[in-house]
Amino acid sequence: MTAVADWTSAVAVAPAAPARRRRAWRRLRRDPIALFAATILALFLLTAAFAPLIAPSADQGRGTAHVASRDLGPSAAHLFGTDHLGRDLVSRVVMGTRPALGSAVAVVLLAVLIGVPLGLAAGYVGGRIDEALSRLTDLFLSFPPLLLAMVIAALLGPSLTHAVFALAISWWPWYARLARSVAQSLRHAPFVDAARVFGVRTPTIIARHVLRNALTPILVQATVDAGTVILAVGSLSFLGLGSQPPLPDWGLMVSDGRTTVLTDWWIATFPGLAIFVVALGFNLLGDALRDVLDPRSGG
């Protein structure tokens, strides 16, 4: 999680100029780390989109067992080896990109849709609404996000849908605080005061002026959070609170291979590497976006 204070002090007091956005885009394209991260994520997105065509044995990726070929090490026939049920791990890892990336997008999107409107309203209106939201977010943030998600998922029952919902509930306060900080800093900005003098309604001011200036820090936070969410979804699946067998889930695959990691090392290693690489890609891209889009960077 990135600190809200960094963006609070750096937020612009006027809508971003098109020239600044063009300069930021040029800087981003020249950043080798950003290009590397974007390439990684693009490859995984393409893999998710065409997973049934890429997987050598799509039926094994969906869970069909082949007991006769179980526990085979990496070879020309099975590049990542096979698991305890004889399923091809390349197919399993490829098919697992869909629930991994889909759940990350779903969690971040839900958290943004819940937290940002509440934060913008509380920060702009202030008063009792702001006080109530502050106490509510403090209550949620008093629990570690993953621990709170584990409790919610356990109460709802193990499934990927419940895991996504549980993580979104534990993630929204960060976006509420971020949006609230931006709204507070812009509440008396000159262009907001001018809109208010001309009789523009409060919802319009929030949507057209305040939200527009909050999009940059929200985008950066969401990009970084996507990698963290993939780790969290994998953790819930590892603990049996997320996806259930025989679905091809990276966390489940790591869990399947944890007891034989010293002998059949490939069962847990390759899905674990997939989680690591995707999370790294999101974090590197988020850091690059923060450096480029931060108003203090001169971009």
Task: Pick 105 or 63 by higher pLDDT.
Answer: 105
What pLDDT is recorded for position 19?
60
CA 280 to chain centre: 12
User: Averaged over 78-96, what is the pLDDT?
Assistant: 90
In degrees, rounded to 5, the angle at the alpha carbon of residue 80 between the alpha carbons of residues 75 and 81 is 65
C-alpha to C-alpha distance for 120 and 181, rounded to whole angstroms:
8
Query: Per-residue pLDDT for 28 more than 90?
Result: no
Would you place residue 61 in the very low, low, confident or very high pLDDT band (cuts 50, 70, 90)? low
Q: pLDDT tens digits for 65-75? A: 677 778 888 98
pTM for this predicted structure: 0.85
The pair of three-digit structure tokens given for residue 134, joined into one six-digit string: 């502050």
Highest mean pLDDT among 212-216, 242-246, 282-286: 282-286
CB atoms inside a 10 Å sphere around CB 8: 16
Widest CA span in the chain: 77
Phi, psi of 88 (to 5 degrees): -65, 125
**Cβ(247)–Cβ(165) below 8 Å:** no
Query: Per-residue pLDDT for 295 more than 60?
Result: no
CATH numbers and ranges of domains, the chain: 16-64+88-297 (1.10.3720.10)
What pLDDT is recorded for position 216?
84
Q: pLDDT tens digits for 88-119? A: 899 999 999 999 999 999 999 999 999 999 99
**Cβ(41)–Cβ(281) below 8 Å:** yes
What kind and span of H or E run contains 41?
Answer: helix 32-49
What pLDDT is recorded for position 5?
44
Provide the residue type at 49 as one letter. Answer: A
> Which SS3 state, helix, strand or coil, does residue 215 take?
helix
CA-closest candidate to residue 238, choices 251, 223, 247, 219: 251
Query: Per-residue pLDDT for 41 more than 50?
Result: yes
What pLDDT is recorded for position 212?
84
CA-closest candidate to residue 116, choices 206, 188, 7: 206
